[in-house]
Amino acid sequence: MLLLLIIMDQYMNSISLNMHENVSKYDLYIPNKFRVNMFIDLDKRLYNQNLENNNFEMLYKLKRDSYENLVENMKIKKNMLFIGFSNYFGVFIKSGGELINQCNNNLRSNYACPYNSSIVRVIITSSEKVRYPTIEPLKKNCTFKFQPNFSPPKNNIKKKNKNVEKHMSVYYVDHPKRFYYPRDNKIFIYK
């Protein structure tokens, strides 16, 4: 059984729910406007610590306590859910925690879904089809119904940095710290 609902949240924003009977794992697709990128000038931080490269990985390897302080500072930003570091930025989802909780409550309170239904991934997308938060069943092969927006903000990426990575676009609810720390493998596998 398929059920599609459009409901209003407490801020009078629409949320689209595409629910399937006996499906308990869902993706939440949100428009790019929910992603907040906070530029972090590591040049100054690294320069003050006699390091020369603007790089989160270098800060992590050489000054772990400074890196941990940076993570803690990011986690306490009001009304934003910190999802990780990417391309000189701390990346957040605006009202992310509230949005996930509300979507989980909507899934669990609907007769068409099992009571243990929940959001497992939040995907930031620039798809024209996602104009407001949209809940879709998680595909069995974990592919995306709407492609994540991996494009970094163009305004603040330094030209000297040739190693631009895919920008943070996927948040795993059960693994919130997944992108807090540098990865050994620079190729992201979002599954």
86-123 pLDDT, tens digit each:
877 889 999 899 999 989 988 888 777 888 999 999 99
DSSP secondary structure, 15-43, as one string = EEEEEETT--EEEEEEEGGGEEEEE--HH
- Polymer length in residues for the chain: 191
pLDDT of residue 172: 94
pTM of the model: 0.80
67-80 pLDDT, tens digit each:
888 888 888 877 88
Listed in order, strand segments (DSSP E) in 95-158 are 118-125, 134-137
